[in-house]
Amino acid sequence: MEATGRCERLIGVVAQRLNLGFNLTAREILTFHGAYFGLPHHERMKRAEALLERFKLTDRADQMVRGFSGGMMQRLSIARAMMHDPQVLFLDEPSAGLDPQTRLLLWEIIREYNASGKTILLTTHNMEEADALCQRLAIIDHGRVIALGTPRELKASVPGGYLLRLRFGLHSHVWNHTLLEAWVFNGNAIVFRREVENGVKPL
């Protein structure tokens, strides 16, 4: 049991289906999680505050989760998994169904966590997300790994394909310029990267 407890403290998990306590506040969810993993009171309060701020949930920290939007619940779920600072973080479709602004925020946080020396295992059907976040990819079909490598290696391994890059803009207050990068094979385009310039979000 002691060995099991040590393993639990090394791992954080975010399932695709939300499993938050809807009768708790965001702050309570984080601090209860920290208490479960043995964090001292001062440390878990400080870490909860930092995570609430990083995930842009400070203004809703003391409100019941039942009134949160789907994007806010997803942010809170990932914050909870990071609460005990695990060495390995499992994310199952972390940005599924999220708006572009929330998705970009999550990508930024995931990159930061990985850059701090943590390992992240991510499952996704979004090729753009896989290309943006992953250093090594495995493509799985019916439980079998059919391709393995870096994003660049996998794109280069497709015969007869070519890289298509489009830059377009719209003169409005909503957004300015967007770079779209896709891999085209047999007339089908797989979007791998989309960047928005000038710090404004897409429609």
Domains of the chain: 2-125 (3.40.50.300)
What is the pLDDT, as a whole number, of residue 4? 55
What is the pLDDT, as a whole number, of residue 199? 47
Among residues 141, 21, 129, 153, the alpha carbon closest in space to that of 80 is found at 21
What is the chain's pLDDT, residue by residue, as a tens digit (203 residues)? Answer: 455 557 778 999 998 888 888 899 999 999 999 999 999 999 999 999 999 999 999 999 999 999 999 889 999 999 999 999 999 999 999 888 788 888 899 999 999 999 999 999 999 988 888 888 999 999 888 889 988 999 888 878 876 655 566 666 555 444 445 555 555 554 454 555 555 544 444 43
Q: How many CB atoms are closer than 10 A to CB 174?
A: 9
For the segment 6-28, what is each residue's pLDDT rounded down to a tens digit? 777 899 999 888 888 889 999 99
What is the pLDDT, as a whole number, of residue 191? 52
pTM (2 decimals)?
Answer: 0.75
> What end-to-end distance do the CA atoms of the chain give, in Å?
51
Strand partners, 144: 141
Helix axes 70-82, 41-54, angle to 10 degrees: 140
What gap in Å lies between CA 17 and CA 39, rounded to an integer?
26
